């Protein structure tokens, strides 16, 4: 029609203004509220990053203590929500459970669904950040038939999650500090990433005035796809399928073949046309965890060699395809003991911080409008209805 800009996949459309996250994809830079991701991953905690994203500044000591305390007060789930788990098949994908349970939160926490009230918005945000580890861990426990573990608020955010996932009521659970640190790093690296598909979904859902629990459930649904959060699961499955370094050339050839839909999972990014800064931190973390766990997993060798071959291959150089955050995260999570089906659930857990921060930023904007993209209609022109027996 000429009236609209046609931009399928939103490759050149900014859908909003945001003060949260800055990415320079050509240089491989990622900043949260101005702070480089590698510095946050090395020196910060997940609670501190959550505070930074939500409130705009790094917290002072007292503010951090207060925020951590507030989050810890919300870690339990309404007891009746446990019934929801029992309604799922044991082999349900954790992301299916997460979509359902998180959406259902809006039926339980009515006192934090009035989006016009900033205090209610903040309570809903705290609840979501606090309850996600419990929800994800319970999805895992249900799948393996073990009792659900209640949160232990004397532990930190990551340690508590590890205990709820791998602990059992029959014995005390020791949090391994290297694993806890790795978990924290993974959470920080996944906390936000500006207007990716799931965050845009949360914003679009929220733009209609939908309650935050429903919006985050929409984000989880979008994240599930293999081109987005599902890529970490797909990347590990691919590394396992390759199995040994001698089979790498076969897979590289497939990735380059135009007639083969196969892609190297964990490679390439819409925005990064350089090394994803998160992938660098992830590689270091993978080495530390494998060493600590004494895991001699050949897939780590496959990953490292695949990376080297791809980085030196003309096809990948020309298309600027580099490892992304998902390339090494699966190796780490698998060494810690998570089944592949949990990987995307962990991504959702961490990204909840970004989702709620972005949602709050949008709702606080007095000029906020419902998101309503236009289209270029390519269907038939007007025609007259034909009764069924005359068609
Ligand atoms: N392996 C082989 N070729 C690739 C790959 C890959 N992983 N990624 C892109 N290409 C090629 C693609 O075939 C296309 O070639 P051509 O121009 O000849 O048609 C070109 O590179 C550009 O790809 P695109 O699909 O147009 O680029 P996009 O920006 O739409 O897609 C992507 C980005 C992340 C969806 C894509 O790179 C991909 O599918 N990667 C594998 C999945 C993955 O690792 N996803 C995780 C992304 S990071 C975490 C997250 O966001 O959740």
* Domains of the chain, CATH where assigned: 19-226+340-364 (1.10.580.10), 231-336 (1.10.230.10)
Question: What's the 109 CA to ligand 1 centre distance in angstroms?
Answer: 39
Q: What is the mean pLDDT of the chain?
A: 95
The pLDDT assigned to 2 comes to: 59
DSSP string, 41-91: HHH--HHHHHHHHHHSSPPPHHHHHHHHHHHHTT-SPPGGGHHHHHTS-TT
CA 307 to chain centre: 23
Told to judge if 78 belongs to the known catalytic residues of this protein, a careful annotator would answer no
Binding site membership of 195 for ligand 1 (Cβ less than 6 Å): no
Q: What is the value of pTM for the model shown?
A: 0.93
Residue 354 CA to residue 3 CA, distance in Å, equals 34
**CB of 103 closer than 8 Å to CB of 210:** no
Residue 267 sits at φ, ψ, to 5 deg, of -125, 140
**CB of 311 closer than 8 Å to CB of 150:** no
Pocket test for ligand 1, best of 259, 268, 348 (most atoms within 8 A of CB): 268
Binding site membership of 229 for ligand 1 (Cβ less than 6 Å): yes
**Active-site residue, selected from the candidate residues 32, 269, 313, 365:** 269
Nearest to 331 by CA among 262, 239, 230: 239
Taking CA atoms only, the protein residue closest to ligand 1 atom 1 is 263
**Active-site residue, selected from the candidate residues 32, 93, 192, 326:** 326
The pLDDT assigned to 196 comes to: 96
Q: Per-residue confidence of the chain (391 residues) as pLDDT tens digits?
A: 457 899 999 999 999 999 999 999 999 999 999 999 999 999 999 999 999 999 999 999 999 999 999 999 999 999 999 999 999 999 999 999 999 999 999 999 999 999 999 999 999 999 999 999 999 999 999 999 999 999 999 999 999 999 999 999 999 999 999 999 999 999 999 999 999 999 999 999 999 999 999 999 999 999 999 888 888 888 999 999 999 999 999 999 999 999 999 999 999 998 999 889 999 999 999 989 998 988 888 888 899 899 999 999 999 999 999 999 889 999 899 999 999 999 999 999 999 999 999 999 999 999 999 999 999 999 999 999 999 999 9
Told to judge if 190 belongs to the known catalytic residues of this protein, a careful annotator would answer no
Binding site membership of 131 for ligand 1 (Cβ less than 6 Å): no
The pLDDT assigned to 106 comes to: 95
Question: What's the 287 CA to ligand 1 centre distance in angstroms?
Answer: 26
Binding site membership of 23 for ligand 1 (Cβ less than 6 Å): no
**CB of 125 closer than 8 Å to CB of 360:** yes
What pLDDT digit, counting tens, does each position of 357-370 carry?
Answer: 999 999 999 999 99
CA dist 45 → 53, 100, 181, 184, 368 (Å): 12, 29, 9, 7, 32
Nearest-10 Cα torsion for 188, 194, 197, 201: 100
**CB of 272 closer than 8 Å to CB of 212:** no
Question: What's the 30 CA to ligand 1 centre distance in angstroms?
Answer: 19
């Amino acid at each position: 029609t000429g009236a609209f800009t046609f931009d399928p996949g939103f490759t050149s459309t900014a859908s909003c203004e945001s003060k949260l996250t800055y990415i320079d994809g050509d240089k491989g830079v990622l900043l949260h509220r101005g702070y480089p991701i590698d510095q946050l991953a090395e020196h910060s905690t997940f609670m501190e990053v959550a505070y930074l994203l939500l409130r705009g500044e790094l917290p002072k000591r007292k503010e951090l203590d207060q925020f951590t305390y507030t989050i810890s007060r919300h870690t339990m789930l309404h007891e009746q929500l446990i019934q929801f788990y029992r309604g799922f098949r044991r082999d349900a994908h954790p992301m299916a459970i997460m979509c359902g349970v998180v959406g259902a939160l809006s039926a339980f926490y009515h006192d934090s669904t009035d989006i016009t009230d900033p205090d209610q918005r903040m309570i809903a945000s705290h609840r979501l950040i606090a309850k996600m580890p419990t929800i994800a861990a319970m999805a895992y426990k249900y799948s393996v038939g073990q009792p659900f573990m209640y949160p232990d608020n004397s532990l930190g955010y990551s340690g508590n999650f590890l205990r709820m996932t791998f602990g059992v009521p029959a014995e005390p659970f020791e949090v391994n500090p290297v694993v806890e640190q790795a978990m924290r790093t993974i959470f920080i690296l996944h906390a936000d990433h500006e207007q990716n598909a799931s965050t845009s979904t949360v914003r679009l859902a929220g733009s209609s005035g939908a309650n935050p629990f429903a919006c985050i459930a929409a984000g989880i649904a979008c994240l599930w796809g293999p081109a987005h959060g599902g890529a970490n699961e797909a990347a590990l499955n691919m590394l396992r399928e390759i199995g040994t370094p001698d089979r790498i050339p076969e897979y590289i050839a497939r990735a380059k073949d135009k007639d083969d839909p196969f892609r190297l999972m964990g490679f390439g990014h819409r925005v990064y046309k350089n090394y994803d800064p998160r992938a660098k931190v992830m590689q270091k973390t993978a080495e530390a965890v494998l060493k600590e766990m004494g895991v001699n997993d050949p897939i780590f060798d496959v990953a490292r060699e695949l990376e080297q071959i791809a980085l030196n291959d003309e096809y990948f150089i020309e298309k600027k395809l580099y490892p992304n955050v998902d390339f090494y995260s699966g190796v780490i999570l698998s060494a810690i003991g998570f089944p592949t089906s949990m990987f995307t659930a962990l991504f959702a857990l961490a990204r909840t911080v970004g989702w709620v921060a972005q949602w709050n930023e949008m709702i606080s904007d007095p000029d906020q409008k419902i998101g309503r993209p236009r289209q270029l209609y390519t269907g038939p022109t007007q025609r007259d209805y034909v009764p069924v027996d005359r068609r």
